[in-house]
Amino acid sequence: MMCHPPYKPPKFLQNGVAMTVYTALWGKRSWDINQYPEPLYHKKIFMGGQDVPIFGWVAIPENAHSTIVGTYGITGELETEWSLKLLGQKAYAQGYAVVLFDWRAHGKTAELSPTLTSDGLYEGEDFVRIAAAAAEMGCPKKFWFTGFSLGGQLALWGVKTAEDLLARNDEYLGLKNSDIAGGAVICPSLDSLRSLSYLVKRPFGKYLEAGIARNLKKLAWRIHDAHPGTIDPAAIERANSIWDFDKELVINQLGFDSVEAYYEASSALQILPQLAKPTLIVYAADDPLFHPAIIPDLEAACASNPVIDLLLTRYGGHVGYLSSKKCQRQAKDPDPWWAWNRVLQWLEQK
């Protein structure tokens, strides 16, 4: 288990909903307060699993020692995902090559392909293929997979898929098993079935779920317009919730007969015992998006797998983790972004 400074938020953010909302609003305006140099990103189209084109950014500093490959949560795109861009700036400044990408059906990737999401079932191979292509571009062959929220689930699948592909092959697209170092994720989605059922029964959850569903619908229309004839507009019209989005647009293409079966198959909680590479999971007990009943199962899974370090905190909200001034001083952090600072600290220890 890693040694880490304790997390303490400002007093007014000792509530998961407050932390989640405040960070989303404040972070959008203030995420680059430390003025880390903006990496000189090169735009790149990777070829993911099933030959799905994936749009990404690549930045390689001089004397880079390792490479971080990361993506974001359930909706978004690279241009606006400030938390991922923050990681890119901080990691680049510490000598990491950085590869950030729009995952399936998101951002510019959605313009390149009508392929919809699979919540990790195929995105895991995307991570590995992106790493292979990045290595050819000169990124150091010590790859760490990362993400937050649903992107954290994808990264965990990336760690598992890397082991599946490379353990039975001497090489895969020029990569060896040792080239994939492991993963580090913040507030990963672990059990969509339990969490979505929990979310829609709570006042804040209903509001948040409705907002995510609207963004998913916009995403579907964007794919429809970019790739005419690939998505039934009537199905998009019926997709008025996260559940309906997956029911109407996703599960049939993936071969599932129900949303329940899809969520059970893509759940990241079930794969934790199978991870064989060092993995950090940062998770807040007051995360308002995820069912609290998941926490004992998460603790048990991590306790039984020695490669996983679980950093479970009392506070933090959903991908919030703004630290108080006192917490910053104790941790010797340069900024209030406690979770990303712990991720980078953990990577240095590895």
CA–CA distance from 81 to each of 63, 104, 321 (Å)?
A: 27, 15, 16
Strands 143-148 and 66-71: parallel
47 within 8 A of 54, measured Cβ to Cβ: yes
Which two tokens mark 263?
Answer: 């969520």
7 within 8 A of 14, measured Cβ to Cβ: no
Instruction: Give the whole-angstrom CA distance, residue 144 versus residue 350.
Output: 11
Instruction: Give the whole-angstrom CA distance, residue 309 versus residue 262.
Output: 27
Q: Is 258 a catalytic residue?
A: no
Catalytic residue (choose from 66, 83, 113, 149): 149
Instruction: Give the whole-angstrom CA distance, residue 282 versus residue 96.
Output: 20
Catalytic residue (choose from 119, 126, 191, 287): 287
Which two tokens mark 74?
Answer: 């359930």
Instruction: Give the whole-angstrom CA distance, residue 284 versus residue 67.
Output: 26
Which two tokens mark 150?
Answer: 């649903």
Catalytic residue (choose from 4, 106, 291, 318): 318
Q: Is 318 a catalytic residue?
A: yes
> Mind telling me the catalytic residues?
149, 287, 318
